[in-house]
Amino acid sequence: QLTRLTHLKNLSLLKCEKIASKGLASLPTSLEKLNLNICIQLTDANLAALVRLEHLEELNLSSCKKITG
């Protein structure tokens, strides 16, 4: 489980086509940088799971075509 990686600062899920809310909810809260570039199944609703990442400084959502905002 990713939640056990309490010191993880950077994570790239580039082209991870199956990531969704459940996967995002399991990310460690220690993340400062998260790359979700070309995660084509992500939607605006899925991003609500990222609210708990209080240390997140950089988020890449490039080419996530289902994200509108």
User: Which segments of the chain have a pLDDT < 70?
Assistant: none
pLDDT of residue 47: 93
> Which alpha helices (H) appear in 1-69, and where do they start and end?
21-25
pLDDT at 20: 82
What percent of the chain clears pLDDT 90, i.e. is strictly above it? 83
Measured distance CA(12)–CA(10) in Å, rounded: 7
Neighbours of 13 (CB within 10 A): 19
Burial class of residue 19 in the structure, from the number of CB atoms within 10 Å of its CB (0-12 exposed, 13-18 middle, 19+ buried): middle
Residue 63 confidence (pLDDT): 95
Express each pLDDT in 8-19 by its tens digit. 999 999 999 888
Q: Whole-prediction pTM value?
A: 0.91
In angstroms, how far is the first alpha carbon of the chain from the final one?
A: 29
